[in-house]
Amino acid sequence: MPPVLDVEKLRKTFTCYTRTRDRVLEFLSGQSRHRSFTALDAISFSLASGQIMSIIGENGSGKSTLLKCIAQVLLPDSGTIKRHGKITGLLELGTGFIPNLSGRENIAFNGTFLQMSAQDIARREEAIIDFAELAPFIDEPLKSYSSGMTMRLAFAIAMHADPQCFLIDEALSVGDTGFQQKCFQKLSSFKANGGAILFVSHDMNAVKLLSDTVLLLAHGHMNYLGQPEEAINRYNALAASHGQSGSATSTGYGNGAISFTSVHITDPDGNPQSLIRSGAPLCIHFTYKSSQKVEHVTFGIMLRDRFGQDVFGTNGALLHTLKDVEGEGHGCFTFPAMNLGQGTYTINLAAHQGTTHLETCYHWWDRASSFEVLQDTNYIFSGHTRLEAHLDV
């Protein structure tokens, strides 16, 4: 497959000044008054036509900067980016539209920047409006559009500008499910026709389902480039090693007689996890300390979805495991099968007296940690709960 994009030894640094005055003083005195921040260093990869590559990494790892460099919106300090053909895409939200102009005029305006000739634009206009499903509103000013409508228009224009490579920066999270599916269909036919796609996402399900290769960035460096499965595992390990597993500084309340000190998530062998397949086993370990001797303590756990809805909760009283506590200690909730649907879930921990934390609460630790459940490709279903189902017809 011919390459569409060749990136070699890319490096990008940002110069940060705290105050504008520092910039002037530095110019006048010649003494450095800025902080340099290396956003990307030694990035090399090549993308062939018909390939989908995802870029993953924690916040601030340089994903968006890389995409902007490839899109020529930012200029790298050193290294080369060879583009064989046109590159379009959706960078963040908003796409250089002009709010006062109508949707139709914005198609012409945006198209001009995407190197479409006036004839191209005229020829594609109907197809773009059709795809964006905006026919009734196309002559209204863009400022009256919802964010989903704007995104649909942006996607439609970028896709109809005949790119050889398409960039997506988290933008597809906007828009309703129906349109998202339409976008994915469009992207897969684009890919089948030899188009290359580069996309940045935090949605590990999408990454796993869509990509041929995955580039994992950590602090602006390439941590891994290769198979999605391995990349996601490494991302998972990275995320688990800092930040994701909590320490007791988050929100919470209680009388403080007992307090949680840490929480971490592992598989049954004790390997850190923050990403599991639906139906896989999971252990949630916690440590605590108490300032005094407390008897018959109930330790509880509540799993919530990303909207904060209770998904599952239990505690020592319900499981008939109460504990007398003094000093430091640890515990573990073991789930032989995490029968949840795909999505991100938060872990909330509680230490209290009796069957609910409403009686005497020693510590309620809100959003102590979180983990993500991926679809089990052997048993695909929708919704929160993994029920066993059979169909006889």
Angle at the Cα of 285 from the Cα atoms of 283 and 290, rounded to 5 degrees: 155
By C-alpha distance, which of 40, 58, 39 is closest to 239?
A: 58
Residue 96 interacts with other proteins (CB under 8 A): yes or no: yes
Contacts of 240 (CB under 8 A, 6+ apart): 264, 265, 272, 273, 274
Does 101 interact with other proteins (rule: CB under 8 A)?
yes
By CB under 8 A, is residue 291 in contact with other proteins? no
Compute the least distance from the CB of residue 20 to other proteins, in Å. Answer: 6
**Of 258, 332, 323, which is closest to residue 290 (Cα–Cα)?**
258
Task: Give the count of residues interacting with other proteins (CB under 8 A).
Answer: 30
Q: Which is nearer to other proteins, 54 or 64 (CB)?
A: 64
Q: Which C-beta is closer to other proteins: that of 42 or that of 108?
A: 108
Q: From 110-118, 183-191, 244-252, 263-271, give the range in contact with other proteins by CB under 8 A.
A: 110-118
Nearer to other proteins among residue 98 and residue 337 (C-beta): 98
Tell me which stretch binds other proteins (CB under 8 A): 102-110, 222-230, 323-331, 341-349: 102-110
Q: Under the criterion CB under 8 A, does residue 64 sit at the interface with other proteins? A: no
Q: Which stretch binds other proteins (CB under 8 A): 14-22, 46-54, 185-193, 288-296?
A: 14-22
Alpha-carbon distance 368 to 363, whole Å? 12
x/- contact string, 114-133, with other proteins (CB under 8 A)? Answer: x---x---------------
Does residue 348 sit in helix, strand or coil? strand
Integer Cα distance of 39 and 60 in angstroms: 8
Q: Which amino acid is at 273?
A: Q
* Helices then strands, each counted (H, E), the chain: 8, 17
Closest CA to 300 of 390, 388, 385, 360: 360
Q: Which among 96-104, 218-226, 285-293, 339-347 is the span making contact with other proteins, rule CB under 8 A? A: 96-104
Give the binding site for other proteins (CB under 8 A): 14-15, 20, 23-24, 71-77, 87, 91-92, 94-96, 98, 100-101, 105, 108-110, 112-114, 118, 141
